[in-house]
Every structure is written in structure tokens, then in C-alpha cells.
């Protein structure tokens, strides 16, 4: 038989970095990003527009490491402006994945993986009430590799897997973008749902 009439594809790989606030998720994402870029590969770096804590067009860690990123309202708009194919991007990086729509995100990632594009995503695994973020949970279920990291409890210094909201109001929204003025990492013993 001369030639193969069926094209074979190599599926991309999905890495998920998850944990509480202040665990170093964005730093871990940037480490992988710089390694891929250093290897001469093209990348696309995305972040939600809602994350405006430091700079709008950069992924910025709490210790001020940063890298340019495209801030988007939703991932559907990314498809309108970028062709997610291996000849354009070796890897797509998404920070704060929990802020993106669950179904849209899974469709976006799954389509890219089928095309052979790799993804590295980072996000909170739980909100300050201890409820899993759906988008991060679905990414974890689909992941080829999971990096689950912890912070240090601000009360006792032990491993912290929870995010403590410092002030709760009567009708606190699930999502309140903030930094150390709003949240702290806590161990199970010192964490309280808010």
C-alpha cells in the first residue's frame, strides 16, 4: 500500500498546577514557560481579564516575577484571533484557569490537545469556602500530569492546602480578586470557611 491515507496526530499534553493562594502556582507556570521558550518554541500565554491585581497584560507572581500575557474575557475570543495549531504554538499557558467558563475552557483545551498543542494551566483548586472550582477540577481530571502544591499556613507554618478569606460579608461573592490584603494560606486546623 503506497502511503497512508489516514493522517496520524500526536496528541498534546496537559499539565495542571493546582493549589491554594500563595503556593507558587504562577511561579511554577512561569518556570515551565521560560523552559519551553528557552528551547526555541513558540508559546501563547493567556490570563483572565478579571485578574487585574498587578498588571493587566502580564502574568505577575506575588513576588513580582512577570511575563507578558494576553488578557481575555473568555477563551472563545482566543479562537477568533489565534489559530491553535502546532505550527503556531508548541504550548499554550493559562494562568488563573478557575476564572474561565468551565465548558468553554474544556472545549478549548480538548480541541488544542487533539491538534497536538500542549497546555500548561494553573489555578486554584478550591474557593475560600472549600468548594472545588469546576474548571480546575475538570482540568485535573483530564490532565496528563498534575502538580499539586501547597503554601505555608500563616498561623502555624505547616503545609497549607486551603485559602482563607480574611473578611467575609453577609453576602460574600464566591470570587473576589485580591492578594494578601484579602486572603491567606491556611492549614486545615486554622482554616475557616468564609
Active-site residue list: 96
| Grid cell locating 82 | 489565534
CB 113 within 8 A of CB 145: no
Residue with C-alpha cell 523552559?
Answer: 35
Rounded CA-CA distance 13/2 in Å is 31
Q: Which residues pair with 147 in a beta bridge?
A: 17
Q: H helices of the chain, where? A: 25-38, 76-81, 102-115, 134-142
Q: Please, which residues have CB within 8 angstroms of residue 151's CB and are 6 or more apart in sequence? A: 19, 20, 21, 22, 23, 24, 159, 160, 185
How, if at all, do strands 151-152 and 159-160 pair? antiparallel
Give the phi and the psi of residue 55 in degrees, each rounded to 5. -135, 140
Amino acid at each position: 500500500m503506497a502511503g497512508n491515507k489516514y493522517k496520524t496526530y500526536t496528541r498534546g499534553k496537559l499539565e495542571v498546577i493546582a493549589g491554594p493562594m500563595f503556593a507558587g502556582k504562577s511561579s511554577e507556570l512561569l518556570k515551565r514557560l521560560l523552559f519551553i521558550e528557552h528551547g526555541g518554541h513558540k508559546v501563547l500565554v493567556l490570563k483572565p481579564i478579571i485578574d487585574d491585581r498587578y498588571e493587566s497584560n502580564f502574568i505577575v507572581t506575588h513576588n513580582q516575577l512577570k511575563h507578558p500575557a494576553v488578557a481575555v474575557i473568555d477563551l472563545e475570543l482566543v479562537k477568533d484571533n489565534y489559530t491553535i495549531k502546532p505550527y503556531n504554538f508548541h504550548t499554550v499557558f493559562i494562568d488563573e484557569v478557575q476564572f474561565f467558563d468551565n465548558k468553554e475552557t474544556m472545549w478549548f483545551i480538548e480541541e488544542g490537545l487533539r491538534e497536538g498543542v500542549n497546555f500548561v494551566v494553573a489555578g486554584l483548586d478550591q474557593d475560600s469556602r472549600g468548594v472545588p472550582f469546576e474548571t480546575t477540577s475538570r482540568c485535573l481530571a483530564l490532565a496528563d500530569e498534575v502538580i499539586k502544591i501547597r503554601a505555608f499556613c500563616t498561623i502555624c507554618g505547616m503545609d497549607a492546602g486551603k485559602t482563607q478569606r480574611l473578611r467575609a460579608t453577609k453576602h460574600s461573592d464566591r470570587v473576589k480578586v485580591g492578594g494578601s490584603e484579602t486572603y491567606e494560606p491556611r492549614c486545615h486546623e486554622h482554616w475557616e470557611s468564609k
